[in-house]
A and B are shown apart, each in its own frame.
Chain A
Amino acid sequence: GENVEQHPSTLSVQEGDSAVIKCTYSDSASNYFPWYKQELGKRPQLIIDIRSNVGEKKDQRIAVTLNKTAKHFSLHITETQPEDSAVYFCAASAYSGAGSYQLTFGKGTKLSVIP
């Protein structure tokens, strides 16, 4: 099955700096790569996603890049703010049979933005 590795597990940045989180996946058939943000005790919320036919996608201060050949994708947050502090999860969607797809998540990155 699909395996998703996420690095780093923790990341501290100064307010205003950029943060980069990287993920690799194993199943070359995976075609959908969402990123979720989870604040303490809350539900994961989708912040950005990218499909396999696109190399980069940007939404204000957040961008995601995908390299299908190398099977890795990254989340970039620019001009970080204290409210960006949370755990971020990457995921990859792979076919799981019977016409269904399954999201496999990375183990998460705890981002701390220091004011």
Chain B
Amino acid sequence: DSGVTQTPKHLITATGQRVTLRCSPRSGDLSVYWYQQSLDQGLQFLIQYYNGEERAKGNILERFSAQQFPDLHSELNLSSLELGDSALYFCASSEGTSGSGEQYFGPGTRLTVT
């Protein structure tokens, strides 16, 4: 157990809908990262927050947004869902923003868009 929690574990929804994925980082970690993993694909970095502020953006679609709250938990919002958005979504946390620190991954949320 990495100490990072994600809810829900599974989510099935229809095209055009909107969903919210939730992540709670390890105790003491200030950074949260979101990744998308499609079938047979690697981990695509979406976005990073540090202590409530957006710090880095990767290949995140405009239909997707995220935020980090004062208690450091983070939410990833996915809207106008398309079939291609079906994937595993992981969040990870780390103590700081340093490049030499380990990122701890949560168990992931499997999103299925039908």
Contact = CB atoms under 8 A, between A and B. Distances in A.
Interface in B86-107: 90, 97-107
A102 B42 contact: no
B42 A93 contact: no
A22 to B, nearest CB: 15
A51 interface: yes
A26 B95 CA distance: 26
Given A43-B2, A43-B90, A44-B90, A98 B99 contact: no
A90 to B, nearest CB: 10
B108 A43 contact: yes
A40 to B, nearest CB: 11
- How large, as a class, is the contact surface on chain A? 20 to 34
Contacts of A108: 42
Contacts of A69: none
B43 interface: yes
A89 B43 contact: yes
B111 to A, nearest CB: 14
A89 B106 CA distance: 16
Contact of A45 (B45, B48, B105): B105
A103 to B, nearest CB: 6
Interface residues of B, number: 26
Interface of A: 6, 30-32, 34, 36, 42-46, 49, 51, 89, 91, 93-108
Which 6 A-B pairs rank lowest in CB-CB distance, beginning with the nearest?
A101-B99, A93-B99, A100-B55, A96-B56, A107-B42, A100-B97
Given A43-B108, A94-B99, A97-B56, 10 more contacts: A43-B90, A89-B42, A89-B43, A96-B56, A100-B31, A100-B56, A101-B56, A101-B97, A105-B44, A107-B41
A6 B2 CA distance: 26
A45 B31 CA distance: 17
Interface string B56-88: 101000000000000000000000000000000
Contacts of A32: 99-101
A100 B103 CA distance: 13
Contacts of A102: 45, 48, 56, 58
